[in-house]
Structure 1
Amino acid sequence: MQCPHADAGECRSCPLMGVPYSLQLQNKQAGVRALLDPVAGTHTPDGTDLWLEPIPSQESAFRNKAKMVVTGSAEHPRLGILDPRQHPKHHDGTGVDLQDCGLYEPALGAAFPPIAETITTAGLIPYDVGRRTGELKHVILTLSPEERLMIRFVLRSTDQLPALRAAVPGLLEALPNSQVVTANILPEHRAVLEGEEEIHLAGAETLTMRVNGIPLNQRPQGFFQTNTAMASALYAQASAWLDQTLTRSVWDLYCGVGGFGFQLAEVRHGSGPLPPGTQRSVQGLETAPDAVAAAQVTARQLGAQDRVRFAVGDATAVQAPEEVPDAVVVNPPRRGIGPELADWLEGSGVPRVLYSSCNAATLARDLERLRSYHPVRAQLLDMFPQTDHYEVLMLLERSRHH
């Protein structure tokens, strides 16, 4: 993949642009193993290779989410990024238009022109970061696998909200695949994407992200993997590995909207000790109330709310229950699970842990504290081509002598 914006130095989001994709994948695998092999080893206890082949992504057109800074004018808005060639402290607000970025799924890219037209129709004045004037800061779009859209306008205040409301019917006519339209209010001059207040403008309350047949519900401020195909592969691989065990109960920590939890709520493969269709009990824990509420909606839709439950809570402060589950799934942020949760798992007696990591350095650090466990499967999934980022899935089992 090649990009004129990268060639011109006006976008630096893809540092590996121009590197052959096979080499990108090879280098990521080598880098991850350099961090993890000294801790995890290279083979399972039965002598087989620990690492499976990496799962590649599409090189382009894989992103389901766009976070666009709005610059220019209401008459001629630019959707993209601030010009990175300027010093942040002395930025004059000039933006680079990235509506033609090759990373976005085609249906996502097709939404940009109607959104720009809506900005003009409503007369929304782009926020000038240098002068701290204007109203419209960002437009954030998410595309579902069925090519339905969530569209969010991030405003400095509610001053231009009436004008935006008046323009929404035209937006829905131009983009009939819009499922959710909201305004987010971000009053502060800060380098963040969104504020706390979300105002519903049209459509449903959630965007349905159907992954491996499961209707995950995405709320405006919730997290979802930006590469749907790789998210599907990640959840499916976790399911395949766990189905080779006698797991009947699962805790899904850092559960988000329940991507892992719902995938693991029943046995899906026939080669393991439990027959396909065997139901599991799942308990999810997540700090974000919106994500938990969205997961609860999916549980009701599937009629599984009696055995697949979600609660708001801090995964790093898990309290010891009377009975531990057969497996714990952890999908932490880049900082990893940390010493408190790692030490709890180490002393818990939980038979197995599925660890999904976006940072092999913190995964290696956490593995140092999980000495009662040995890795039995590991795989890299390339969530983010053209960058150094990735996801690693590892299955750990408690050693028999512990």
Structure 2
Amino acid sequence: MAKQAPVKKNETVTIRFEDLTHEGNGVGKIEGYPLFVPYGLPGEEAIVKVVKVNKNFGFGKLLEVKNPSPERVEPPCDVFYKCGGCQIQHMSYNLQLSMKQQQVKNVMRKIAHLEHVPVHPTIGMEDPWRYRNKVAIPVGEKDGELITGFYQMRSHQIIEDMDTCIVQEDLNDRMVEAVRRIAGRVGIEAYDEKSHTGVLRHIMVRTGQETKETMVVIITRTKELPHAKEFIRELTETYPNVKSIIHNINPARTNVILGEKTKVLWGQEYIYDSIGSIRFAISAKSFYQVNPTQTKRLYEKALEYAAIGEEDTVIDAYCGIGTISLFLAQKAKKVYGVEVVPEAIEDARVNAKLNGMTNTEFEVGTAEEVMPRWKEEGLKPDVIVVDPPRKGCDEGLLNAMIEMGPKRIVYVSCNPSTLARDLRVLEDGGYETKEVQPVDMFPQSMHIESVVWLEKRLSN
């Protein structure tokens, strides 16, 4: 007979939090039965309402903290408990950094079975606010006025009293407010999700951190933007930092923000920004890191681990618009980049040209298909760098890397669990994990990036 949980749904209990989950929830136990509770911090005793009971664990709602942790802070965002975009503003920044380091350590032990590999303290930000250079925000209507705001947690209800987002660049905040105000004044109506009518779905703003150049992307259901001339004139006359106004058309009933078709309404197709000494052209659909300050630190660490010599050949798998490739090309003899998105490869070639780099070659395709062909053609990389999406590396790519046998692999990861899974495969394929460096790219959220250095084992 199955053992029954020691708590019931809707019961109120007193609990002491012992730990944190990888989602940032507090973990406490009742007679050995774990309860996961958002906003609970280790060491705190709290009164909790049980909201869900499963066989092996349950979920609770925090009602009252009896003895607050010294690491608990008052979230500076007015809508923190509604929004859900940031999950951990209630933690001190020191706790955020140590928790992220611990998260990486845990998966290295439990999934990769690498007990003794050093996981360094997380590289954090001096000022962990106002770091995001891109915002895409839904538009709605209330009492005949346009409103903008992120959706409330687990809903498609716009948070109406959201005047600012304190992890966004201040300029982005102000541009969203300006676009909403001008669009409303010239008579552009909001999209209605339920009836699939109306015009303006989202406002997207991208800002160059170094250049302060701004791109405004207007996402509509309709093929044309009503009152476009009036809108453009007022926006560009008032805000000289706007260098590009793009119209993206998304006629589908979908949660996906951008549609297939994009056209330049005014100004340039690209805005420009720099990370270190390298300049980047950024289009409406470019994947460009949202936190350039930390991106520079991440890439510097990747370069250090890659230890590239001037005669080395390097492959950058999942190269995107060439951000890492161009950093590597500063040191290498030749860099080959591969990426499945054709527009990203076009951007990568533009960026190589922009920086006068002739030692790069970019190809469209999946890394797991292109790399084995490169191997057959005789390409022998000294170093391979991978920066895969959250799902990690495809098995075919991991095998191709092992078969190509570079002396060094640098793995840049945005998901500790899939990183650890892939490291196990690479370890079994003859590579040794030397060091792991977590980097906090997204302060106030649970996301953590890591850079890992692997060396090929010498044959016995």
Counterpart for residue 42 of structure 2:
none
Matched, 1:311 2:363: yes
Gaps of 5+ in 1: 45-49, 268-278
Decide which of 52, 57, 62 is 2:131's aligned counterpart.
62
CA drift at 1:246? 7.2
Matched, 1:324 2:380: yes
| Contact 2:250–2:259 (8 Å) recurs in 1 | yes
CA, structure 1 residues 85+239, in 2 after alignment: closer, same or farther (shift >3 Å)?
Answer: closer
Query: Partners of 1:300 and 1:151 in 2: how far apart?
Result: 25
Query: Partners of 2:82 and 2:342 in 1: how far apart?
Result: 38
Query: Partners of 2:128 and 2:363 in 1: how far apart?
Result: 37
CA, structure 1 residues 110+167, in 2 after alignment: closer, same or farther (shift >3 Å)?
Answer: same
Amino acid at match of 2:284: P
Amino acid at match of 1:290: E
Amino acid at match of 1:214: I
CA, structure 1 residues 125+74, in 2 after alignment: closer, same or farther (shift >3 Å)?
Answer: farther
CA RMSD in angstroms, aligned pairs only: 2.0
Larger Rg: 2
Deviates more, 1:319-328 or 1:17-26: 319-328
Counterpart for residue 5 of structure 1:
79
Query: Partners of 2:226 and 2:392 in 1: how far apart?
Result: 43
Q: Cα deviations across residues 20-56 of structure 1 (Å, max 9, x unaligned)?
A: 1111111111111100135263546xxxxx3332110
CA drift at 1:244? 6.5
Q: Cα deviations across residues 99-135 of structure 1 (Å, max 9, x unaligned)?
A: 4111111222222232122212331111111222211
3-state secondary structure, aligned to 2:452: strand
CA, structure 1 residues 97+208, in 2 after alignment: closer, same or farther (shift >3 Å)?
Answer: farther
Matched, 1:210 2:301: no
CA, structure 1 residues 247+366, in 2 after alignment: closer, same or farther (shift >3 Å)?
Answer: farther
3-state secondary structure, aligned to 1:54: coil
Decide which of 436, 439, 449 is 1:378's aligned counterpart.
436
Counterpart for residue 82 of structure 1:
151
Instruction: Give the number of equivalent residue pairs.
Output: 377
Query: Partners of 1:182 and 1:246 in 2: how far apart?
Result: 41
Query: Partners of 1:181 and 1:52 in 2: how far apart?
Result: 43
Q: Cα deviations across residues 309-348 of structure 1 (Å, max 9, x unaligned)?
A: 2121111222223122111111110000121111111222
CA, structure 1 residues 165+311, in 2 after alignment: closer, same or farther (shift >3 Å)?
Answer: farther
CA drift at 1:2? 2.0
TM-score (norm 2): 0.78
Matched, 1:41 2:125: no
Gaps of 5+ in 2: 1-74
CA, structure 1 residues 248+99, in 2 after alignment: closer, same or farther (shift >3 Å)?
Answer: farther
Amino acid at match of 1:195: G
Query: Partners of 1:384 and 1:149 in 2: how far apart?
Result: 21
Matched, 1:248 2:312: yes
Matched, 1:401 2:456: no
CA drift at 1:349? 1.4
Query: Partners of 1:362 and 1:295 in 2: how far apart?
Result: 26
Structure 1 runs of 4+ with >4 Å offset = 244-247
Counterpart for residue 164 of structure 1:
228
Deviates more, 1:68-77 or 1:176-185: 68-77
CA drift at 1:281? 0.7
Counterpart for residue 344 of structure 2:
291
State, as a whole percentage, how many aligned pairs show the same letter: 28
Query: Partners of 1:241 and 1:364 in 2: how far apart?
Result: 18
Counterpart for residue 418 of structure 2:
362
Query: Partners of 1:205 and 1:376 in 2: how far apart?
Result: 43
Amino acid at match of 2:76: Q
Amino acid at match of 2:384: V
| Contact 1:374–1:397 (8 Å) recurs in 2 | yes
CA drift at 1:167? 1.4
Counterpart for residue 275 of structure 1:
none
| Contact 1:35–1:360 (8 Å) recurs in 2 | yes
Q: Cα deviations across residues 254-291 of structure 1 (Å, max 9, x unaligned)?
A: 11111111111123xxxxxxxxxxx5211111111221
CA, structure 1 residues 95+54, in 2 after alignment: closer, same or farther (shift >3 Å)?
Answer: closer
Structure possessing the higher relative contact order (Cα contacts under 8 Å, 6 or more residues apart): 1
CA, structure 1 residues 302+178, in 2 after alignment: closer, same or farther (shift >3 Å)?
Answer: same
3-state secondary structure, aligned to 1:374: strand
CA, structure 1 residues 97+231, in 2 after alignment: closer, same or farther (shift >3 Å)?
Answer: farther
